[in-house]
Structure 1
Amino acid sequence: MSIKRSLVLLFSSYGCFLFAQEKAIDTIYVFDSQINKVKLFHPVKTITTEEAEKNSTNLSELLRFQSPVYIKENGRGAVSSPSFRGTTAQQTAFVWNGININSAFLGQGDINNIALLGYDQIGVKAGGGSVIYGSGAIGGSIHLNNNLDFNKGFHGSLFSEVASFNTYNNLIKGSYSNEKLSFQASGNHSLSENDYKVELKDGRKYTNNSGKYYNTNFNVSAAYKIAPHHQISWISEFFNGMQHYPVFFETEKGTKYGTQNVRSLVSWDWNTTRFTNSFKAAYTEENFQYYGNIDGPETSGGVGKNYIVKNDFNYFLTPKWNFNIIGEYQLNKGNGEGTSMLGDVRRNAGYVAGLIRYFAAKDLRFEAGIRKDFVEEISSPLLFSFSGKWNATQWYHVGLSVSRNFKAPTFNDLYWQPGGNKDLLPETSYQLELRNQFKVKDITLSVTPYYMDIRDMIRWLPTSAWYYAASNTNKVEAYGVEAQVEYEKRFGKHFLKSNLGYSYTRSTDLDIQKQLMYVPFHKFVGGIDYQYDFVKVYVQGMFNGLTYTDSNEIKDQALDAYFVMNTGIRATFLRNYTLGFKISNIFNKTYYTMRYYPLPGRNYSINLNINF
């Protein structure tokens, strides 16, 4: 669905949702037709291309410094996973242009095997979203979105970066559009020897031996208006990457992991005065190979293929009432090879969801939804969600969200031999959050306390037969608060923007009354941007509190608290040329997000961005 003028006029003095929407002219096509509706009821942090270039090393670094998400990374560029609000990577949904792309094998996304550059927007949404985005959207979701402009002519850009540790990052992107046709393509290649050295607390020197990585990503998309109310569109992404896993001793044999992902989506959108309908067909494929000897043959691997059809129907009964019905069917196939011991597996899955939205006035609105999943050999729960937002005064806004969310067992959970369990129940969670926003002149403060109860958590535990098996065991209670303060001011040629975010997280395994591993109690992220004329300067900071690395809160094994700061400067010349320089970890702090794997000390990068 296109972005309409209604997203600007939605809460005009007449509170009109329907008719203002349908009279506007299309300017941008968004592949994820739900994301703009989600933003009407939930805060979604949007990271633009320019913001992403501040942390251009990889998606892990970007999320670490620009979101409340905790990122667990096994060394720079290696295996990496997120944690929202005290949950695990399996409770985080990665959504590519409206399609959930979590691995059918593991039920999660490897952040460093998802390209950073090439997307037009990256969205970070905390809180449950399973009614719309499905399995895994318990703690939160990360949205990777591409947009298409119309009637903009030709535009091209080149981003090239050289950084410490023989790191090179390059992106080329081009687009063309007229009144009926829009086309866009991009290519990104990143590589690094990644051989950084770190001085450890005990005086030893750590070298990230055999930590090389490289990846290539291509995006191509197009849309065509075949009639006044009909449009067809297509987007495809191709990713190929290789990660060499670090070794601690010279006598160790290096290992590596390769992955190739294919994603393709075709959409037919039909927009009329009273309804919109988006029909999508998608194909996603994940291929992976593990090499126990970096110079030897493949040790294990797998291929997962997903065939998806989805229909999203919106009907505007009146200017205040909107009904939304979504249906989806998937055929999931998986094949494990070598020591992965999975074999050929497949399952059928689908769901039906219904949402109703009501706009009582320009200051009050709510949304309620239900969803029923049908997963082969799995008894899936009925899900629900309710969200409301009230602009009580000019300076105070309040929002409430209640939801039930879930995560379906993965192929590994069900079929891995030995240890898979076909009788597993889906993980379910009940969630409540209360959003409070205060705005005084140029300062905005938001405070969001939340509570979450996760049941039937799937864990792999040791058995008497000396192998691990999957079972529903854990009950987890998570609660905390997220706070954000922002300031923005323009005066003459000067522009100042700053933000500071804080999150407190208590996530308890109720069986043993201990904090979950790799869930910090405290995290701060913040930044200051200052611009004068053609020069921009920025500073980023991140504080991460004590983080346990085991299930029993052993402090000797915990990660110490740390504070890391980055700074950079960018200057634009002749309107189209921007030169940037960045210093990361300016205080040369030794810090970990995963035990045994320190991240780099002070390092540098220089980049050039050309628009034409």
Structure 2
Amino acid sequence: MKKIILFLLFTSIWQHGFSQFITDSIQILDEVVLSDSKLIHYASGVKQSVLNDSVLKQNSKSLTTLLTFNSNLYFKENGYGMVSSPSFRGTNASQTAVIWNGININSQLNGQTDFNTINTSNYNSIAIRSGGGSVQYGSGAIGGSIHLNNKLAFYSHFDNSVQVSYGSFNTKQTGFNSSYGSDAFTVDFGLFYVKSDNDYKYLGTNKVNENGAFENLNLNVNLGYFISKKDVLKLYSQSYIGDREFSGTLVAPPRSKYEDENYRTMLDWVRISGKFNSSLKVGYLQEKFKYFENKNTDNYTFGKVNTYLVNHSLNVRLSEKLQFKTILDFNSYEGAGSSFGDPKRRAFSTTALLNHKLTDKLNYGINLRKDFTSGFESPFVFSLDAAYQVTGLYKIQINGSKNYRVPTFNDLYWNPGGNLDLVPESSYQVDFGQQLQFKHVNFKLNGYYINTEYLIQWQPALDDMGKPILDGMYTPLNVAETQSYGAELELESDYKVKGHHFNLNAHYSYTVSENLKTKKQLIYVPFHKGNVNLAYGYKKFNMYYQHMFNGEVSIISSSLNAYNVGNVGLGYVLNKNGTINYEINFKVNNLYNTYYENVALRPMPNRNYQIQTIIKF
């Protein structure tokens, strides 16, 4: 292993001394516009889906809602607008990685990302990468990863848009986006504010969601500047400030409140030098929170983590068919909290990626990674993938990988209950996919298997006699071996005729995720989930319908019923060909007024409405 690491270090330095070659424009565009080029060049055998602009516009600004109706992911929400966590291919929330412009932003405290803190209006590219990705994206990328990218476009433009909406439960949303660019400089600015009383009625009862009010602010600023013909500096900055009352349950009175903030800043220096492209990233991330058990008092618990990162990658295009990338990554984490002290962690990783287009039809990749993390031994991980274009219409993909997740600060240091004897989770997975691509129809079918060992679970703390140590105290343990397997279908159709535009997008997943010891389905993993999106546009008019089915899910000692939820929306553009365009949209959520819970005893909203105006200039 030491020889491999030394080789990667030597290669990364040695390749900078080579002479420079002429770079084709496509390669420059890929490297400059995208901060995470691994999605394009080093995942040929991996299932990926990119959500286009029209899909982003149809959904509310919450990443939860977007993916609920446009992916195979299942979400648990502790009430609308509250903490939202995904289950991807039967895995838990801390086994789904969220990648922001190429870096993993999962919390160092609980190992996951709250999808209700991510506003989709500030990103112009959102991609879903299915299956294990720990080699490229680190801890937690076991079930899959969600990629939030800001594209920097170097051409002459100046575009602006203002969004204002009002909806049920006194929900107000205001947003402003601006983009300016030239051949050498570009800047994107996005600001979005949401506030809601969120006091929806619990259907079938005389109760309302009386402690669910929330407000949050998202701010994105992204800059790009060519300092020479071969060097470009890119700055990405994202801020979130949120204040939420935490909804209670049908049987417990609510009174708590949660304030959280997330700040992310990253500077990326990209050098394009013939066959060699390098990227040096330095970044600072901060997450912090305050939790008030009683919102009417000044007593709270708190926690925060500061993350400092340095990442260097070097891509070598050895030929038109063969390319190689090395990545050196260092992260320093410094935490502080009322329940876990002042923990620190250092992590260094070396990664090697290879992609080879063996023939015009066959493409394969080999990826290797080794982490060195203070406090415990991180596993050596790898992945293999391949894609074969059988015919012009039919393609098959296959990939296999070993992945991991390290214990979080909460797992290790929470007082009381933290466990310093935990070891990282380890997972193996294999995925086989097929794609049929016709002129107007694209069909994907994937089957997968995931085996996870040393799964970290919080369980009641017991003494040597098997009796509770402290009433209500939980502790994390490496206890379970689980397996997940299933199938995913995805269908997309786009058709235009005489000014009429029709679009169909549908997903279905069958998921088995079970504890190998008990042979029981894990809680909050539905066997069946599906959604359908139908859209129609003609000249200035557009409309769409969304439908989502979620099958029955197991919970502790019981289950939650299956449910169907539908949404419908209408839109009309005024002055479409003018310099200032006005668009009016109207949407009805939960069209059939369905009662449903995706977390036990926490009902979701009844039928509700939203009207939105978008002004572009």
- If the length of structure 2 is used for normalisation, what is the TM-score? 0.92
Cα pair 1:113 1:259 within 8 Å, conserved:
no
- For residues 126-181 of structure 1, the C-alpha deviation after alignment (integer angstroms, 9 at most, x for no partner) is 21100000000000111111111112221111111111111011110112111111
SS, match of residue 413 in structure 1: helix
How many Å apart are 1:39 and its aligned residue? 5.5
Match in the other structure for 2:297 = 296
Once residues 245 and 335 of structure 2 are traced to their aligned partners in structure 1, the CA distance between those partners, rounded to angstroms, is: 25
Match of 2:11 in 1: none
Q: Tell me which of 596, 601, 609 is aligned to 2:606.
A: 601
Aligned to 2:491: 485
Q: Deviations over 1:414-446 (max 9, x none)?
A: 122332222211101100010011234422221
Q: Which residue of 1 aligns with 2:261?
A: 260
Q: Distance in 2 between matches of 1:133 and 1:248?
A: 36
1:418 lines up with 2:416 in the alignment = yes
1:520 aligned onto 2:521: no
SS at match of 1:62: helix
Q: In the alignment, is the contact (CA less than 8 A) between 1:453 and 1:477 conserved in 2?
A: yes
Distance 1:241 1:414 in 2: 27
| Alpha-carbon distance change, 142 to 417 in structure 1, aligned in 2, over 3 angstroms | same
- Residue 25 of structure 1 and its aligned partner are, at CA, apart by 6.2
- CA offset digits 1:2-49 (Å, max 9, x no partner): xxxxxxxxxxxxxxxx98845666496222232322554423222234
Return the letter of the residue paired with 1:532: Y
Q: Distance in 1 between matches of 2:180 and 2:198?
A: 37
Is the 1:458–1:474 contact (alpha carbons within 8 Å) kept by the matching residues of 2? yes
Counterpart of 1:275?
276
Q: 1:47 maps to which residue?
A: 51
Instruction: Give the one of 577, 586, 593 matched to 2:582.
Output: 577
Structure 2 residue matching 1:402: 3-state secondary structure:
strand
- Offset of residue 303 of structure 1: 1.0
Counterpart residue type for residue 75 of structure 2:
I
Which residue identity lines up with residue 102 of structure 2 in the other structure?
G
User: Match of 1:565, as an amino acid?
Assistant: G
1:586 to 583, 588, 591: 591
Counterpart of 1:67 in structure 2 is: 71
Distance in 2 (alpha carbons) for counterparts of 1:511 and 1:62:
35
Q: Which deviates more, 393-402 or 420-429?
A: 420-429
Partner amino acid, structure 1, of 2:545: V
Please give the residue correspondences for 1:465-544 in structure 2 after superposition, counting only pairs within 5 Å: 465-466=469-470, 467-544=473-550
Q: 1:198 aligns with which of 189, 193, 202?
A: 202
Alignment-derived partner of residue 226 in structure 2: 225
| Deviation by residue 1:384-443 (Cα, 9 ceiling, x = unmatched) | 001100110122110001000000111111122332222211101100010011234422
Report how far residue 454 of structure 1 moved.
Answer: 0.5
Q: Which amino acid aligns with 1:531?
A: G
Retained in 1: the 8 A contact 2:167–2:610? yes
Q: Which residue of 1 aligns with 2:452?
A: 454
Q: Is the 8 A contact 1:429 1:453 kept in 2?
A: yes
SS of the residue 2:598 aligns to: coil
Cα offset, 1:250, TM superposition? 11
- Contact 1:209 1:248 survives alignment (8 Å): no
Residue 486 of structure 1 deviates from its aligned partner by 1.9
Matches within 5 A, 1:105-254: 105-200=109-204, 204-248=205-249, 252=253, 254=255
Tell me which amino acid in the other structure corresponds to 2:442: T
Q: Which amino acid aligns with 1:379?
A: E
Distance in 1 between the 2:335 and 2:143 partners? 26
Tell me the distance in 1 between the aligned counterparts of 2:336 and 2:390.
Answer: 54
Take 1:583 and 1:499, find their aligned partners in 2: how far apart are those partners?
A: 19
CA contact (8 A) 1:564 1:585 kept: yes
The structure-2 alpha-carbon separation of the partners of 1:558 and 1:248, relative to structure 1 and needing over 3 Å to count, comes to: closer
Superimposed CA distance per residue, residues 498-517 of structure 1 (whole angstroms, 9 cap, x where no aligned partner): 12211000001112111000
Counterpart of 1:322 in structure 2 is 323
CA contact (8 A) 1:150 1:177 kept: yes
Paired AA for residue 101 in structure 1: I
2 CA distance for matches of 1:255 and 1:422? 30
Letter of the 2:589 counterpart: S
Kept in 1, the 8 Å contact 2:34–2:150? The answer is yes
The alpha-carbon deviation at position 470 of structure 1 amounts to 1.9
CA distance in 2, matches of 1:236, 1:477: 38
- Counterpart of 2:601 in 1: which secondary structure? coil
Q: Aligned partner of 1:263: which letter?
A: R
- Match for residue 346 of structure 1? 344
Secondary structure at 1:414 match in 2:
helix
Q: Answer yes or no: is the 8 Å Cα contact 1:314–1:323 preserved in 2.
A: yes
SS of 1:260 mapped into structure 2: strand
- Corresponding residue for 1:391? 389
Per the TM alignment, residue 535 of structure 1 is displaced from its structure 2 partner at its CA by 1.1
Structure 1 residues 457-466 or 161-170, which shifts more? 457-466
Q: TM-score of the superposition, structure 1-length normalised?
A: 0.92
Q: What secondary structure, in the 3-state scheme, does the structure 2 residue paired with 1:165 have?
A: helix
* Residues 41 and 388 in structure 1, CA contact (< 8 A), matched pair in contact too: yes
Instruction: State the identity as a percent.
Output: 36
Aligned to 2:347, the other structure's residue is in SS state: strand
AA aligned opposite 1:149? A
Q: Deviations over 1:208-256 (max 9, x none)?
A: 1110010001111111101111011111111100111123589946111
Residue 323 of structure 2 aligns with an amino acid whose one-letter code is N
* Counterpart residue type for residue 189 of structure 1: Y
For 1:160, the aligned partner's letter is V
Counterpart secondary structure, 1:117: helix
Letter aligned with residue 513 of structure 1: K
Is the 8 Å Cα contact of residues 231 and 270 (structure 2) preserved in structure 1?
A: yes
In 1, Cα distance between equivalents of 2:438 and 2:52: 25
8 Å CA contact 1:118–1:171 kept in 2: the answer is no
**Deviation of 1:361 (Å):** 2.8
CA distance in 2, matches of 1:301, 1:119: 30
Residue identity matched to 1:607 = Q
Q: Which residue of 2 aligns with 1:361?
A: 359
Question: For residues 328 and 243 of structure 1, what CA distance do their matches in structure 2 show?
Answer: 35
Shift of 1:115: 2.5
> Alpha-carbon deviation of 1:594?
0.6
Amino acid of the structure 1 residue aligned with 2:575: L
Q: Tell me if the contact between 1:390 and 1:397 (Cα under 8 Å) persists in the aligned partners.
A: yes
Question: The residue matched to 2:343 in structure 1 has which SS?
Answer: strand
User: Which AA in structure 1 matches 2:76?
Assistant: K
Residue 561 of structure 1 and its aligned partner are, at CA, apart by: 0.7
Conserved 8 A contact 2:292-2:301: yes
CA contact (8 A) 1:255 1:292 kept: yes
